[in-house]
Every structure is written in structure tokens, then in C-alpha cells.
Amino acid sequence: METIKWIQSLLGEELQPLFLAITSLGSEYAYIVFMTLYYWLVDPWTGRQLGIVTTLSLGFNILLKDLSANPRPFELNPNLAPPAAKATADGSSFPSGHSQGSATFWFFLAFYYQRLWLWVLSITLVSLVAFSRVYLGVHFPVDVVVGLILGILFAFVGVRLSLPNKPLLLVRVATVMLAFLLAIALPDLARPLGVLVAFFLTTPDFHPPTTWKGKVLFGGTGLLLILLIHKGSSVLLGDWKHLAEITFWHYAIMTLFATEILPKFARRRY
């Protein structure tokens, strides 16, 4: 608690808008943007593996949050976080989901490509996201440190995983059934389980656009459609979206639309 107060007193309140923008890079919408753009425009097969690993990491993070049930700093001292920062906090404090998810995503790419510029970018972005969680008063330092360690571990192991490219039909059916039952038993995991199943079922059979015009058109229109569907379906579902079985299929279908349907449509145009 004292560390958070010291950081906030040192930097002042003027930087809150900046760090709110930085912390959004570890949000759900950021994953939608980064993941889909990489999958569509760079490497769909590696994007599939990245999606599976990142979703597993976030699911494990949710389990740890439920088990620890640690209060957040602003729950102990409401003055530590502005309302906009509190709105970014979901679940308990330990460990930081923003830090773990960001570390998993960006360090997976850094481990995979082994490029200096990507290491610099990954370390910078992940560090800023982690620091923003402490500065904004939504996490204790230990939350982000553990989140970073777990994220890096998931990234390191995830790059080395050998996943089946085209699982047998029986394996696919069993995976969907098991994930659905697990989502009902553990409702907090319904969202990541839906995404995980969709990435597991995905078998990319397209090549990313090769021209900048094609990349911009596909990426721009595709993202707009995905975000509209994500927001629109949430509104249409209303209170139903809080049911685990609905959430599971909502995210599974939305992810499959992004990984299977849109690329096939775009392949004919770009």
C-alpha cells in the first residue's frame, strides 16, 4: 500500500489519462485487436497457437483470482484509484490479469521470432502495462510481479508446445463437450474456454494478404465487424450473457467467425 502511495505522490495525478491508455493495452479489446490482426495478416497457424496459449494463461489467471480472493488496493483505500481505473478491475487482486496476459502474448512473439526489436518492444509494453496497474491503484506490486512471471512461463512453454493441426473428429467433439461442462461448473472460465475451444477447432487454410492495401482493407474492415459483433451481440443477449452456457457459445462462435468465416470471405477479395 505504501509503495502505491509513494508512486502516486511521485508522479502526481496528471499522468492518470496516460496510464489509463497504457493499461488498456492489457484489456480484452486489446487482445481482440492484436490477436486477430496477427492471425489475419501475419501467420494464422502461429496465431492459432498464440491464441490457445494466451487463453490458457488468462484462464489460469482467473482460477488463481478465484482461489486467492485477495482484495484490491482501492477496496482497502477507495482514494487510491480513480473511477476510470476501478472500471478496469475485474475479479480479485492476485495475480494481475493485465500483466499476465500482456506478458504471455508479447513474450510468446519475442521467444518465437527472437528479434531484438521485438524483445525491446515486448519488454517496454509489458513493463508499462504492469506499472500502470500499480500506479492506478488497482493492484499491489506483488500482483503484477507474479502475473509477469506466470505470463513469461506460459509464453516460454507455449512456444515449445506441439499442438495437433487437425485434431480427429472424436477429439474435437470430446474437447467441446469437456470445455462446455467445465464452463458450467466454473462460470468464471466460460469466456476463455469458449475462445480456447474455437482456436483448437480452427484449421486455417488461407494465406494473409501480401499487399499493404490488402492488409489495411482486411484488417480494418475485419476488426470493425468483429468489434460490432462483439458489442452488438452483448447488447442483444442482455442479461442472458451472464449465463455461463451462453457466454461459452457466444465467445466460441465469435472467435470461429474471426478465424474461419472472415478469412474465407476476405480471401476472395484481397
Task: For residue 268, name the pLDDT band (cuts at 50, 70, 90).
Answer: low
Cis peptide before 192 (omega within 30 of 0): no
Which of the pair, 92 or 8, is modelled with greater confidence? 92
Q: How far is it, in rounded angstroms, from Cα 176 to Cα 196? A: 10
Q: What is the mean pLDDT of the chain?
A: 90
pLDDT band at 265 (very low <50, low <70, confident <90, very high): confident
**What is the Rg, in whole angstroms, of the alpha carbon atoms belonging to the chain?**
19
More confident of the two residues 32 and 158: 158
Average pLDDT, integer, range 45-69: 95
N residues, the chain:
270
* Residue-level pLDDT at 213: 85
Q: What percent of the chain has pLDDT over 90?
A: 61
Q: Is the pLDDT of residue 266 over 80?
A: no
Report the percentage of the chain scoring pLDDT > 70: 98
Report whether pLDDT(269) > 70. no
Distance of alpha carbon 103 from alpha carbon 109, whole angstroms? 10
Burial class (CB in 10 A: 0-12, 13-18, 19+), 214: middle
C-beta of residue 22 within 8 angstroms of C-beta of residue 132: yes
Mean pLDDT of 179-188: 94
**pLDDT recorded at residue 270:** 58
Q: Is the pTM of this model over 0.85?
A: yes
- How open is the CA angle 165-246-31, to the nearest 5 degrees? 55
Q: What is the mean pLDDT of residues 252-260?
A: 92
